Structure 1
Amino acid sequence: MKKPFTLFLILLIIMFLLSWPYYMYLHDTGKIDFSPIEEEDYRGIITFWDFPHQSSDDPTGYNFIKKKIQDFEYYHPGVIIEFEPLKNSDGYERVSDIGSDNKPDIVPITSDSPLIYDGKLEPLNKYIDRNYKDSLKEQVLDSFTYKGSIYGLPLGMYSSVMFINKDLFSEKEIEVPQDGEWTYDEFLEDMTKLTYQMGKKEKKSYYGLSMYIEGSYNLWGILMSDGANIVNDKGLVSFEGPQAESGLKKLIELSEKGVIDPVSYGDDYNKVWDSFTVLKESAVLIDESYKIQYLKYLQNKNKLFDFDVALYPEGDSDVPLTLSPKVYGYGVTKQIDKKKLEMAYKFVKFITDSQESVEKIGYIPVKKSIALNDELMKKIDKAIKYTDYPPPNWHDKNVKINKAIIDGLINKENEKRILIRMQKIIN
């Protein structure tokens, strides 16, 4: 029995010695690869929440993101992006309140998003290289950075601007601000002329200005018009001093002259929007700049007047300063599965990388290399350059400040009293 087994071993050794040089030749020439086999990418479901991004040819606002999902799933077989649309009415609260159960994998964020500071998002530093950072405009990535960790990728930039009904301006023989810029005195004079009543028996009121105040940053362009800022020279969050008082005084003046549509003081955004677009009761609407694309959609359907874009009026500061979260993007929630985290990041990168399309949904591109073509978007880009970022985790304080200002205006309080109430909220 031993002889056959011994003979078999001898033959096996001889075959190995004869074949080994051939295998080494195959390896050296690249015809055989002994390198470790890479692990497969994640396959499965990734859940994703997002707000609508309306455009001039998509009033629903979801075609942009649905196309991104379709293309990504094509390039990554086995990955399913489960998309849930968010409503503007309660979407921010839903995102802010996500817990450990039934949370989405990818959420929209802005620079004032509490998710960044509450530890609910994954830091993405290890995926972001120097070339990507260098491709972005100054401070854009800083808006999603906290204590050295980057918690999101930016899609686009925005601010609050003034949308103008050019027909109403023309009827009152008022010139639209050249290049979108005007002084506060010019602005006040125009708003006063555009505030009037018509009708003999049942008078109908028209107003120069409307804006949704409660859940927005729309007031800050007036509050900061004389040079006040929310962060003082020492880097502390504060809104006080002569410039803050005079900015508030300008707002009070607009309210006392009756140029602000009363719907602005309420909690119904739709009434403010309809006052400008449907009823044509207000000549100027202060709103977030990305709404421009839905206005264009209405205009293309002959459902809207000719409109223009203007910046905030310039007071003593001589520049149209304002405050806004300014950057919209996406973050990835805390993940146990690292492969899923990597795939979620890839999807976020896929959405945000193709910057050529963000102008179509109302945003200013975050990358330096992308040029703007639309003249109105160029005005919005100028407004963004004069827009400051809010302090960290500022959203909830901003809402409380707005409510304090609304109460002050309705109760006809002076600027000093309103400012004291604001300071209590800030501190």
Structure 2
Amino acid sequence: MRKVISFIILCFIFIWTYNLFINNIITLEEVKEKPYKGIIRIWDKPWDSITKGNHQEWLREKIRTFERRNPGVYIELTTIDKDSLNSSLSDNNISLADIPDIVPVNPNFRDFNILEPLDEYFTKEEVEQFKHQVLKSVKYNDSLVAVPIGVSTYVMYINLDKFNERGVSPPTNGNWTYEEFVDVLKKLTYDSDNDGITDEYGFIADIGNTYHIWGIILSDGSELFNRKRIEYNFYGEKAIRGLEKVIDLKEKYRVVPDYFGIINEKDVWELFYKDQKIAIAINGAWASKYLDQLYGNGEGFNFDIANYPTGNKELPIVLSDQVISYGVIKKEDPKKTEMCVKFLKFLTNEFNQRSLEKLGLFTVNRGIKDMYMDNIKMKRIEESMVYTEYIPFMDNWEDIIAIVQEEIRNAILGKKASYEAIEDAKIEIDKIKNKN
């Protein structure tokens, strides 16, 4: 009996000691570290080429909400132009305190190695929420180095009033082959005042500063970059054939002005919407809302949208760099990095993604499918985004694309044969690759 009583007493002492001391120690050890509190600096550059709207106010509104939900966190937003951003981030003399924490990232970013790999901050489920084509475009060396916030694309805009004046039917459901496209352009190119000089043209596009024309160049199956190896890949017979399709618009069919290949993006757009001397032009999705406003105010014209003409690939192709994404600069404070990622994740939640509709942008969340239900044209643009290929992150891409765009211009202006332009571009780009 005494042994039983002694055993009970020993058990009681052990349980009491465990609850009083050991359990308290374990509880103390399990206390989570306090989250980062302090200032987070964001440098951002204008989104004018993508939204033509007040995106800064949208971002400031999200910052204010995030600060309220995370007391002690203050986010400073500074607008900076592209050149100043690149020069500052590459300045070896700049102090750590002066470097921002979050920066905009696109294919022209100068040094992806200064960005924090973000894979460990995302669960598999969180990664799966992103549209796959968008997710691929924000990786560098197979690591997630930026968080996509919004996307856009390019489409062809057609002046329906001009189509009707000339008795030309727009493409059925916005789809046409290259041959059908050329046939339409011929009918829309003419001398409007009978002075012997053609002054109305079917089409024009910018060459050199945008990816507007690449949907035609790639329509026969060539690639500007290899999607598996993530490297420049524009050469060979398909590339030559695609480039000649663009050259033929000027030299063979004469459905574009003589200054095609010289005129810049701004002047192209003004010829289309302001002077109305061009029947078809290419621009970002933001232009749909803008043209709707002009038409509603009695200043514009009736318009519609169309896909890029198809070639041997039999699907419309769109090449775009219009992914808005942000990366986190590598620093020595993991708690701060975690808070930066938390903010970027916040921008991708369902409520904030739906609010992109105000800016004429599209969601990066593949689970959201009911945006722009009241805007037929924007809904059609959103549905056509399955054809869009986004430029991935590659070293020296800004230099590479400048070389190839210049050679394409040389070919269009008749300074070089198509095969010479493509070969010369490859030679110069190989020199860049061999330096690294």
Q: Tell me the TM-score normalized by structure 2.
A: 0.79
Per the TM alignment, residue 103 of structure 1 is displaced from its structure 2 partner at its CA by: 3.8
- Given residue 338 of structure 2, which amino acid in structure 1 is its aligned partner? E
Q: Is the aligned partner of 1:421 residue 2:416?
A: no
2:44 corresponding residue in structure 1: 49
Secondary structure at 1:197's aligned position in 2? coil
- After superposition, the C-alpha distances for 1:233-270 in whole angstroms (9 at most, x for unaligned) are 99574323332222111111112233234565336432
Contact 1:401–1:425 at 8 Å: present in 2 too? no
Contact 1:157–1:366 at 8 Å: present in 2 too? yes
* Equivalent position to 2:321, from 303, 322, 325: 325
- Share of identical aligned residues, percent? 31
Distance 1:416 1:192 in 2: 26
Contact 1:210–1:284 at 8 Å: present in 2 too? yes
- Given residue 90 of structure 2, which amino acid in structure 1 is its aligned partner? G
Q: Is the aligned partner of 1:146 residue 2:135?
A: no
Q: Is the aligned partner of 1:409 residue 2:412?
A: yes
Contact 2:218–2:242 at 8 Å: present in 1 too? yes
Q: Given the superposition, is the C-alpha separation of residues 296 and 120 from structure 1 closer, same or farther in structure 2, using an over 3 Å criterion?
A: farther
Distance 2:125 2:305 in 1: 34
Alignment of 1:182-221 (within 5 A): 182-199=176-193, 205-221=199-215
- After superposition, the C-alpha distances for 1:191-215 in whole angstroms (9 at most, x for unaligned) are 1222223336796722211222212
Contact 1:54–1:61 at 8 Å: present in 2 too? no
Per the TM alignment, residue 184 of structure 1 is displaced from its structure 2 partner at its CA by: 0.6
The total of aligned residue pairs comes to 398
Q: Given the superposition, is the C-alpha separation of residues 287 and 270 from structure 1 closer, same or farther in structure 2, using an over 3 Å criterion?
A: same
Q: Is the aligned partner of 1:307 residue 2:303?
A: yes
1:39 corresponding residue in structure 2: 34
Per the TM alignment, residue 317 of structure 1 is displaced from its structure 2 partner at its CA by: 2.0
Per the TM alignment, residue 277 of structure 1 is displaced from its structure 2 partner at its CA by: 1.7
- After superposition, the C-alpha distances for 1:63-86 in whole angstroms (9 at most, x for unaligned) are 322321222222233433322335
Distance 1:234 1:109 in 2: 21
1:339 corresponding residue in structure 2: 335
Distance 2:332 2:260 in 1: 45
Distance 1:214 1:55 in 2: 17
Structure 1 gap ranges (5+): 1-20
Range with greater deviation from structure 2 (353-362 or 174-183):
353-362
Secondary structure at 2:402's aligned position in 1? helix
Q: Is the aligned partner of 1:367 residue 2:361?
A: no
Per the TM alignment, residue 371 of structure 1 is displaced from its structure 2 partner at its CA by: 0.8
Contact 2:205–2:281 at 8 Å: present in 1 too? yes
- Given residue 180 of structure 2, which amino acid in structure 1 is its aligned partner? E
Contact 1:180–1:379 at 8 Å: present in 2 too? no
Distance 2:114 2:299 in 1: 43
Per the TM alignment, residue 411 of structure 1 is displaced from its structure 2 partner at its CA by: 2.8
Q: Given the superposition, is the C-alpha separation of residues 389 and 55 from structure 1 closer, same or farther in structure 2, using an over 3 Å criterion?
A: closer
Q: Is the aligned partner of 1:266 residue 2:262?
A: yes
Per the TM alignment, residue 166 of structure 1 is displaced from its structure 2 partner at its CA by: 1.6
Distance 1:426 1:37 in 2: 51
Per the TM alignment, residue 188 of structure 1 is displaced from its structure 2 partner at its CA by: 0.6
Contact 2:207–2:264 at 8 Å: present in 1 too? no
Secondary structure at 1:239's aligned position in 2? coil
Secondary structure at 2:47's aligned position in 1? coil
Secondary structure at 2:337's aligned position in 1? helix
1:3 corresponding residue in structure 2: none
Distance 2:151 2:388 in 1: 10
Alignment of 1:224-243 (within 5 A): 224-231=218-225, 237-243=232-238
